[in-house]
Structure formats: C-alpha cells, structure tokens
A and B are shown apart, each in its own frame.
Chain A
Amino acid sequence: MGALATVVDLILNSLVLGGVFLIVAIGLNIIYGLNRVMNLAHGSLYALGAYAGYTLVNLGGNFFLTLLFAPLVVGLVGLVIERVLISPMRARPMVYTLILTYGLMFVMDGCLKYFWGKETRFIAMPEFMTQTLSLGPVQYPVFRLVILLAIAAVMGGLMLMLGRTRMGVNMRAAADIPEMVSAVGVNLRMVQMGAFVLGCVLAGVAGALAGPLFTVYPVMGHGMLISSFVVVVIGGLGSLRGAIYAALLIGVVQTLAEFFITDLAMVLVYMMMALILVFKPRGLVGEGKFE
C-alpha cells in the first residue's frame, strides 16, 4: 500500500472510531445535561447493545433491522434503570449516583457474562458488507463505510430531534433552566426520563454499530466508558458541540497512536488529555453548552 493509501485509510479509520466515541459520549452528555447524573453504567449499556445485536442477528434477524431493534432493547433497560434506581436519588448529592451507577456497571457486566458467557463473539454481516470498495487508491471495507453512514444518519437524526421536535426543544430548555420549563407547564420529570432513555438508546446504537467493528465481549464497555469520559471531559461537561470536536480529536489521536506505537497507545491519549486540561480546565468549549 502506498503512502497516500495509508493516509486515506487512517483518516477513514479515525472518522469511524471518533464517530463511535461521539455517539457514546453524546448519550452521556444528554443524560448529564438534564439529570445531573454521570452514568458509569453507560459502557455496560453499550456492551448490552452489542450483545442484543449479536443475538438478534443469530436469531435470523436482518442486519439493518437489528441496528434499529438492539437500541430499543437497551432503551427499555434504561427506562427500568431510571425508574428504579435514578429517580429516587434525584435529591441526593451527585457522589451517590456516581457510586450507584458504578455498582450498576458491575452488576450489568456480571449479567452479560452470566447470560452470554465469557467467550468473544462475532456478529455475522450480510454478504456484500464483507467486501471491499476501491476508493481512489485504497481498498476500503464496505462495512466500515456503512457504519460511517449510519453514524452520520444517527447524528443527523439527533440534531433534527433536538432542533425541531417539541421533546427536543423541551430538553434543550430544561438543560438551561429546569425551573422555567416546569413553570410553563411541561412535565419536567417526563423530559428528564426521556433524556435518560435517549442517552441509553444512543449507547445501544453505538454498541450495535461497534459489534461488527470490534469484537463482542463482556467487558468491551470498560474501554469505551473511559474513552467517552475522556471525550466528555475534554469537550466540556454536558456540552454537545464540545463532544463533537473532542470525539474527532480523540479518534484521530488514538488511530495514529495505535498505528505507530501499538501497545501503549492509550497512554499517549491520556497524556494529550492531561495537556489540554492544563490549559483548558473546563474543556474545549466549556461546561453546559447544551446545543
């Protein structure tokens, strides 16, 4: 492969990786923006999305329909979590929900191991997606392109939803001044619940997409959780625009680091994060810009 081909390859890989980070991190930020809860079980919900996709494909489901249904399963689990665990904790300091969701993470990981076993799983893809497409100088796997398109579609849909629908408008308003939204007669609890479930659905989407991309195993969520924290902290807590910049940045840096130094690549990513935080302690965009 020529130098140009390698460069194009690396760019596309960075976009795919950054895109997956973005969807997970935006889910975290939406939950945080409205609920003031940092969900540490988010990585496990992502893993659940991947396993749900795996099982649905194995049951003979269409690959693309699976991409729709797996997130719904995760959303349903998210709804139960919100009702049973998160909503009684609203009045308590944030430390408690942090520790609570940390416990939840281990329960969920344990359940994944219990139901699906510790073995690594692979998601079977439709025939045409296993081929490669020639893009100028490179041969690029079709499924990576499909995933890239799917990520773009999800982000586009999310933008439309937050920008144009009533629920989206309510969410953006409630992230800014919850009391005011409550005062004009919107049920704030419903908006907060909706945001939590939406965040979980996004984790599920990322999981279902990442299943074929990486492999599926019980603790696959841990690395993703940490990476999405890095994205969230660099971008600024609760800031959607910040998450976009940060996810692309981390995607590029991690892809390059893995290409050049392999084993200790993540150390480089953390170093960069520390460096950015030295100069911008509140993240690139600043906290709480929910737009």
Chain B
Amino acid sequence: MAPAAGARKHNIKEALLFLAALGFMMALPMWLPNRFYIRLVNEIMIYGLLAMSLDVLLGYTGLLSFMHTSYLGIGAYITGLFLMHVAPGSLWLAILVAVAATMLVAWPVGWVQVRTGGLPFALLTLAFGMMYFTVAWKWYSLTGGDDGLMGMPRPDITFFGLTLASSGDSHAMYYFTLIVVAVCLLLTWRVIHSPLGAVLEAIRENEERAAFIGYDVRRYKLLGWMIACGLAAVSGSLFILYKGYVGPATMDAFAGAAVLMMVLLGGMGSLWGPFVGAAIFIFMQDYISTMTENWEIFVGAVVILLVLFMPKGVAGLGGLLSRGQKA
C-alpha cells in the first residue's frame, strides 16, 4: 500500500473515533445523575484543552512549561474584566479579546524564553509564571487580589444574532464548552498534521539538524509557544464562563504541576491523551481531596511514580497493547 493511502486510511479512522467521542459527549448529560457531574465533566473538558495545549508544546516541540495555567489564568482574567467593564453582553468578542491579549502578553515572554535554549526555557516559564501570580495576587484594584475576580455578568450564548441560552445555565455551558473544545481540537489536529507540525517534530527530535537544513529554529519554537498560549487562553475564557469566578490560586505553582500531571497521565505526544489524563486527574482529585488534607503529597508521589515507571502514560499503554496484538 502506498504510504499516502495508508495515511488517509489512518485519518479516516481518527475522524471516525473523533465523531464517536463527540457523539458520546453529546449524549453524556442524559446519563449523568445530576448537575454536579455535568459541571465536573465540563471542568474536565476545560482542563483537557489546557493539558492538550501544554502537550502541543511538550510532546510536539519538546519545550517544557511548568506554569501553563498562567495563560489559562490570564485568559480568564481578561475575559472577566472585559465582560465586567467593557461590554457585558458580548461573549464571542470577550473570548476573542482574551485570546488576542493573552497572546500579546505571551509573545515577548516567549521571545525571551526561546532565545535562552531548552533548560533555561523551562526555568523561565516558572519565573514568569510566578510573576503573573504575584501580579494577580497583589494588584488588588484590578484583579481583586486574594478574593479573585467576582461579580462577572453572565452573557447570553448567541450564534449569528440568535440567542441560544444563558451561559449561567450548566447544560448550556456544557454544550458550549464541548463545541469550542471540539473546534480547538480539530484546528490543533490540522496544525499538527500540516508541514508546520512536521517541522516542530523535527526540531524536537534533532534541533541542530533542523537548523542545518535551514529552518529558523527559534521562530518555529516561538510559533509553537504562541499556539499553546492561544489555546490556553481559550480554556481560560471557558473556565471563567463556567465558574463565574477566577482567583490567583488558579495560576499558582501547584496548579501548574496538576496540568503537567494530566499530560503525563495521558501520555505525551498524542492529542487525546491529555483529555484522558484530565479526566483521571479531576475524578481522583474529587474523591481523594475529600478524604485527606495531604492531597499535595499524593499528587507529587504520583508524578514521581509516573516518571519512574510509566513515562509514556496511558496513551503509551495503548501503544504497547496494540503493538502486542500485532506481534
């Protein structure tokens, strides 16, 4: 079989899987016993999108961001501030502004980070992340400080002038999140499977060789960073619409570790893995944090064990199984 035909067959299989997953998620609220679980699944989708955006950076370009929640936080704050002070009714405009503004913040930071190389890049994401956290925490008059941003209006979800529902309704918010996340997933899939995605993977595998062939490595890394931050900003918009509130704890170091753990759980370098990781993590958090105060130790220990014994995550487990079948 020609490789192109094989790739197309693979694409069709992936498209069918995607549609099946979408259909399942559409129908899921019917089986969920109450609003609490609908909101929990909603949160999983939002964090899944964030984890996927981190995985685009980590799994496809090999760059590590410790505080990717920062960009979720920035997106959420900007969405909230826009809805509170500029235009209380314009939901779509708020999301667009949040994504644009977050990318405006991320661009110079990414530019500096990319110039320093691999390891300093990771350390700098931590330093800049703490900087954002400090600003969100201390700039009381703008962000509400420790209390967070409260009193955000609930805009209606509209589509080309048609008012569908209020974003305060958890069912409506669930479907809104599902559609936005699905669109983001499709766009990301398209980027990863474009020539740009191939270049990013080439840089991850062998940076020097990619540079020798003539690719401007720094520019491509910056591009990967901007894509990841833009997606994180979308998840931030969804986050504040779903919660109606955002506080500095959303973007502290521990939250950053949680997202990293979702990616590790799901497995690096696959787009669906992070969603599985987010689902496992948020269900675990929901159960265990009610039982013990030492949730932190537990998360840390799981991260250590994952790195030691299961570095490829659940997605890697799937790969292992399918390889076993073929052999």
By beta carbon, the residue of chain B nearest A102 is B257
Kindly identify which residue among B66, B118, B131 contacts A102, using a CB–CB cutoff of 8 Å. B66
Contact status A264-B300, CB under 8 Å: no
* Contact yes or no, A277 B112, CB < 8 A: yes
C-alpha gap A230/B308 in the complex (Å): 28
Q: Is the CB of B120 within 8 A of A233?
A: yes
Q: How long is the Cα–Cα vector from A99 to B261 in the complex, in angstroms? A: 9
- For the complex, what is the distance from the CA of A95 to the CA of B116, rounded to whole Å? 16
Q: Is the CB of A85 within 8 A of B116?
A: no
The bracket for how many chain A residues form the interface is: 35 or more
A275 → chain B, closest Cβ, in Å? 9
Which residue of the partner chain B has the closest CB to A96? B307
- Interface stretch among B7-15, B134-142, B173-181, B223-231? B134-142
Roughly how many angstroms separate A107 CA and B112 CA in the complex, as a whole number?
31
Interface check A146, CB cutoff 8 A: no
Q: Which of B20-28, B74-82, B122-130 contacts A (4 or more CB under 8 A)?
A: B122-130
Binding stretch for chain B, among A56-64, A205-213, A266-274: A266-274
Among B108, B118, B120, B303, contact of A106 (Cβ-Cβ < 8 Å): B303
Contact B135 A233 (CB under 8 A): no
Chain A neighbourhood of B257, CB < 8 A: 102-103, 106
Q: How far is the CA of A232 from the CA of B253 in the complex (A)?
A: 19
Binds A, one of B35-43, B274-282, B291-299: B291-299
Distance A107 CA – B295 CA, assembled complex (angstroms) = 9
CB distance from A10 to the nearest CB of B (A): 22
Report the minimal beta-carbon distance from A4 to chain B, rounded to whole angstroms: 32
Q: Are A38 and B123 in contact (CB under 8 A)?
A: yes
Interface residue B45 (Cβ < 8 Å from any Cβ of A): no
Q: Are B134 and A266 in contact (CB under 8 A)?
A: yes
- Chain B residues with CB below 8 A from A100, complex form: 303-304, 307-308
Shortest beta-carbon distance, B54 to chain A, in Å? Answer: 12
**With an 8 A cutoff between CB atoms, is B288 at the interface?**
no
State whether the Cβ of A104 lies closer than 8 Å to any Cβ in chain B.
yes
Q: Which residues of A sit under 8 angstroms from B108, Cβ to Cβ?
A: 274
Q: Is B149 an interface residue (CB 8 A)?
A: no
Residue of B nearest to A38 (CB): B119
Contact B64 A226, beta carbon cutoff 8 Å: no
Complex: how many Å from CA A264 to CA B299? 31
User: By CB atoms of chain A within 10 A, which of B64, B120, B138, B257 has the most?
Assistant: B120
B222 to chain A, nearest CB (A): 13
B307's closest neighbor in chain A, by CB? A100
B311 / chain A contacts, CB cutoff of 8 Å? 92, 96
Closest-CB distance, A195 to chain B (whole angstroms): 17
* Docked complex Cα distance between A116 and B261 (Å): 27
For chain A residues 217-241, which have a beta carbon within 8 Å of chain B?
222-223, 225-226, 229-230, 232-233, 237
How many Å lie between the Cα of A39 and that of B62 in the bound state? 19
Among B102-161, those with CB < 8 Å from A are 108-109, 112, 115-120, 122-124, 126-128, 130-131, 134-135, 138-139
Which residues 182-199 of A have a CB within 8 angstroms of B? none
In the complex, A263→B304 CA distance in Å? 35
Inter-chain contacts of A95 with B (CB < 8 A): 58, 62, 64, 122
CB distance from A182 to the nearest CB of B (A): 24
A267 to B134, CA, bound (A): 8
With a cutoff of 8 Å between Cβ atoms, the chain B residues found around residue A222 in the complex are: 130, 253
Interface membership of B260, Cβ < 8 A: yes
Is B264 among interface residues, defined by CB-CB distance under 8 A?
Answer: yes
Query: Quick check: is A281 within 8 A (CB to CB) of the other chain?
Result: yes
B254 interface contact, C-beta 8 A? yes
A178 contacts the other chain (CB 8 A): no
* B303, A102: Cβ atoms closer than 8 Å: yes
Chain A residues with Cβ below 8 Å from B115 are 277-278, 281
Q: Are A104 and B131 in contact (CB under 8 A)?
A: no
- Chain A: CB-nearest residue to B134: A266
- Report how far A223 CA is from B252 CA in the complex, Å: 12
The smallest beta-carbon distance between B307 and chain A, in angstroms, is 4
B301 part of interface (Cβ distance < 8 Å): yes
- A102 near B260 (CB under 8 angstroms)? yes
Pairwise interchain contact A114-B299, C-beta atoms closer than 8 A: no
Contact present for B127 and A229 (CB under 8 Å): yes
Q: How far is the CA of A127 from the CA of B303 in the complex (A)?
A: 45
Query: From residue 233 to 275 of chain A, which have CB atoms closer than 8 A to chain B?
Result: 233, 237, 263-264, 266-267, 270, 273-274
Q: Report the minimum CB–CB distance from A94 to chain B (whole Å).
A: 6
A225 to B117, CA, bound (A): 20
Q: Which of these, B122, B134, B253, B299, contacts A98 with CB under 8 Å?
A: B122
Residues of B within 8 A of A263 (CB): 138
Q: Residue A136 at the B interface, CB < 8 A?
A: no
Q: Known contacts A107-B300, A266-B134: does B116 contact A277 (CB below 8 Å)? A: yes
Is there an interface contact between A104 and B300, defined as CB atoms closer than 8 Å? yes
Kindly name the residue among A38, A85, A89, A107 whose own CB sees the greatest number of chain B CB atoms within 10 A: A107
Query: Residues on B close to A: CB < 8 A?
Result: 58, 62, 64, 66, 108-109, 112, 115-120, 122-124, 126-128, 130-131, 134-135, 138-139, 253-254, 257, 260-261, 264, 294, 296-304, 307-308, 311
Q: Name 16 extra pairs, CB < 8 A, besides A89-B307, A278-B115.
A: A38-B123, A96-B311, A98-B64, A98-B122, A102-B303, A106-B303, A108-B300, A109-B296, A110-B294, A110-B300, A113-B294, A114-B297, A233-B116, A237-B120, A266-B134, A277-B120
The 7 closest A-B pairs by CB, nearest first: A103-B303, A106-B300, A110-B297, A107-B300, A110-B296, A281-B115, A103-B304
